[in-house]
Amino acid sequence: MKGLPYKLTGILLLAFVLFSCAGNYASEYEKQRDQKVETLLQEMTLEEKIGQLMQKNGEFPQLREYIEDGLVGSILNVPDPKRVYELQRLAVEESRLGIPLLVGRDVIHGFKTIFPIPLGQAASWNVDLVEDGARIAAIEAASQGINWTFAPMIDVTRDPRWGRIAESFGEDPFLNGVFGAAMVRGFQGDDLSNPNTIAACAKHYAAYGWAEGGRDYNTANIPESELHNVVLPPFKMIIDAGAASIMTAFNEINGIPATGHVPLMRDLLRQEWGYEGVVLSDWRSLEQLVIHGYSPNEKEATYEGMQATLDMEMVSTGYETYLPELIEEGRIDESQIDDAVRRILGMKFDLGLFENPYGLGEDFPELLHPSHLEASRQMAIESVVMLKNEDVLPVPEHVRSIAVIGPLADAPHDQMGTWVFDGEKEHSVTPLQSIREFAGDNGLEVYYHRALQLSRSKEITNADAILRDVNRADMVLLFLGEESILSGEAHSLANIDLQGAQEELVELVSGPGKPVAAVIMAGRPVTFEKAEPYMDAVLYAWHPGTMAGPALTDIIFGKVSPSGKLPVTFPRHVGQIPIYYNHKNTGKPPSYESWVHIDDIPEEAVQYSLGNTAHYLDYGFEPMYPFGFGLTYSSFELENPELENPTLQVGDTLRASVVLQNTGDVEAAEVVQLYTRQLFGSLTRPVKELRDFKKIVLEPGQSREVVFEINTQDLGFHNPDKGFVTEPGDYHLWLGTDSRDGLKKEFEITR
The per-residue pLDDT for range 363-418, each reduced to its tens digit, is: 899 999 999 999 999 999 999 999 999 999 999 999 999 999 999 999 999 999 99
Confidence of residue 608 (pLDDT cuts 50, 70, 90): low
Greater confidence (597 vs 473) lies with 473
Residue 32 parent element (H or E): helix 6-43
Q: Output the pLDDT for position 493.
A: 98
Q: Output the pLDDT for position 9.
A: 37
Instruction: From 515, 536, 556, give the residue that closes a domain.
Output: 556
Q: Output the pLDDT for position 12.
A: 39
Q: Output the pLDDT for position 617.
A: 85
What is the arithmetic mean of pLDDT over 69-89?
Answer: 97
Give the model confidence (pLDDT) of 327-360 as tens digits. 999 999 999 999 999 999 999 999 999 999 998 7
Give the model confidence (pLDDT) of 189-231 as tens digits. 999 999 999 999 999 999 999 999 999 999 999 999 999 999 9
pTM of the model: 0.95
Q: Residue 387's domain is classified under what CATH number?
A: 3.40.50.1700
Is residue 186 within 8 Å of 111, Cβ to Cβ?
Answer: no
The alpha carbon of residue 125 and the mean position of all alpha carbons in its chain are separated, in whole angstroms, by: 11
Residue ranges making up the domain that contains 204: 58-350
Confidence of residue 606 (pLDDT cuts 50, 70, 90): low
What does the alpha-carbon distance between residue 668 and residue 700 come to, in Å, rounded to a whole number?
8
Q: Which of 585, 581, 570, 584 is nearest to 690 (CA)?
A: 581
Q: Are residues 224 and 126 in the same domain?
A: yes
Q: Residue 195's domain is classified under what CATH number?
A: 3.20.20.300
pLDDT at 38 over 90: yes
Q: Are residues 330 and 217 in the same domain?
A: yes
Mean pLDDT (the chain) is: 95
Q: Which strands sit side by side in the sheet containing 313-314, from one edge to the other?
A: 148-149, 102-105, 74-76, 54-57, 313-314
Q: Are residues 137 and 267 in the same domain?
A: yes
First to last CA, the chain: 36
What does the alpha-carbon distance between residue 512 and residue 311 come to, in Å, rounded to a whole number?
63
Give the model confidence (pLDDT) of 626-637 as tens digits. 999 999 999 999
Q: Of 77-81, 161-165, 287-291, 596-600, which range is least confident?
A: 596-600
pLDDT at 616 over 70: yes
Residue 599: inside a domain, yes or no? no
What does the alpha-carbon distance between residue 319 and residue 299 come to, in Å, rounded to a whole number?
8
DSSP SS3 for 616: strand
Domain tally, the chain: 4
Residue 45: inside a domain, yes or no? no
DSSP SS3 for 62: coil
Residue 323 parent element (H or E): helix 318-328
Q: Output the pLDDT for position 23.
A: 54
Residue 495: inside a domain, yes or no? yes
Whether residue 365 has a cis bond before it, omega within 30° of 0 = no
Residue 618: inside a domain, yes or no? no
The alpha carbon of residue 687 and the mean position of all alpha carbons in its chain are separated, in whole angstroms, by: 24
Q: Are residues 272 and 345 in the same domain?
A: yes
Q: Output the pLDDT for position 603.
A: 78
Q: Are residues 234 and 343 in the same domain?
A: yes
Q: Output the pLDDT for position 690.
A: 98
Q: Are residues 343 and 394 in the same domain?
A: no
Q: Residue 693's domain is classified under what CATH number?
A: 2.60.40.10
Residue 237: inside a domain, yes or no? yes
What does the alpha-carbon distance between residue 128 and residue 152 come to, in Å, rounded to a whole number?
15
Residue 303: inside a domain, yes or no? yes
Q: Which of 490, 209, 191, 223 is nearest to 351 (CA)?
A: 191
Residue 123: inside a domain, yes or no? yes
Q: Of 156-160, 499-503, 610-614, which range is least confident?
A: 610-614
Q: Are residues 324 and 389 in the same domain?
A: no
Q: Are residues 138 and 31 in the same domain?
A: no
Instruction: From 512, 534, 556, give the residue that closes a domain.
Output: 556
Sign of CA dihedral 540, 545, 548, 550: negative
Q: Which of 415, 387, 391, 393 is nearest to 627 (CA)?
A: 387
What does the alpha-carbon distance between residue 581 and residue 583 come to, in Å, rounded to a whole number?
6
Q: Which of 723, 625, 750, 708 is nearest to 174 (CA)?
A: 708
Q: Are residues 339 and 426 in the same domain?
A: no
Q: Are residues 237 and 284 in the same domain?
A: yes
CB-count exposure of residue 143 (10 Å: 0-12, 13-18, 19+): buried
Q: Output the pLDDT for position 8.
A: 35
Residue 612: inside a domain, yes or no? no
Catalytic-role residue among 155, 282, 350, 738: 282
pLDDT at 362 over 90: no
Give the model confidence (pLDDT) of 268-309 as tens digits. 999 999 999 999 999 999 999 999 999 999 999 999 999 999
What does the alpha-carbon distance between residue 67 and residue 121 come to, in Å, rounded to a whole number?
38
What does the alpha-carbon distance between residue 286 and residue 180 come to, in Å, rounded to a whole number?
25
Is residue 268 within 8 Å of 236, Cβ to Cβ?
Answer: no
Torsion, Cα of 303, 304, 307, 313 (10° steps): -80
Whether residue 228 has a cis bond before it, omega within 30° of 0 = no
Beta strands in 90-197 (DSSP E): 102-105, 148-149
List helix spans (H) across 473-510. 502-510
Q: Are residues 158 and 272 in the same domain?
A: yes
Identify residue 618 by its one-letter amino acid code: D
Identify residue 113 by its one-letter amino acid code: T
* % of the chain beyond a pLDDT of 70: 96
Q: Are residues 113 and 211 in the same domain?
A: yes
Active site residue 338: no
